[in-house]
Amino acid sequence: MRRYSRRTYLEIGAALAVVVALGIWWAFTRHTATPRIIEGWAMPHSNGTAISLHDSPGAPGEGYVIAGAFWSGTDNSWRHGDTPTCVGTDTTSMTRVEIGVIDVDGQHMSYAKVVWLRCLE
């Protein structure tokens, strides 16, 4: 039977400690969130990067930034990196949409982050 030196045991112990520490760090620093889904009528900002979302046409709306969100048109093809063209830029028109929103609580501010938008018509 082969005998290992004390140094070998120390190296193995140090390697195991590092693996355990990384596993603990990974387990406790992961952040997951499930978006709440909101459906309504979107009225775009003139440049198409934000919307006012309404429960029904003529009802008061709530503003959301949609720039940077994943989005899908009525063809159900998901896109990222450009402004949702299905919402458009005509500030007098409304489009039926569904959005996924995550509430972000930061140190100095809290806000609703739109992570995806799907045009329904």
pLDDT (tens digit per residue) in 73-88: 889 899 987 788 889 8
* 35 alpha-carbon distance from chain centroid: 8
At residue 24, does pLDDT exceed 90? no
Provide, rounded to the nearest whole percent, the portion of the chain with pLDDT above 90: 41
Rg (CA), the chain: 24
The pLDDT, as a whole number, for residue 21 is: 86
The pLDDT, as a whole number, for residue 23 is: 83
Distance CA(69)–CA(116), nearest Å, equals 5
At residue 92, does pLDDT exceed 80? yes
Predicted model pTM: 0.69
The pLDDT, as a whole number, for residue 51 is: 94
Would you say 72 and 78 are in contact if contact means Cβ atoms under 8 Å apart?
A: yes
The pLDDT, as a whole number, for residue 1 is: 65
Tell me how many degrees the CA angle 83-102-28 measures, rounded to the nearest 5.
125
pLDDT (tens digit per residue) in 33-73: 789 999 999 999 988 899 999 998 888 999 999 998 999 98
List beta partners, residue 63: 52
At residue 6, does pLDDT exceed 80? yes
Distance CA(12)–CA(4), nearest Å, equals 11
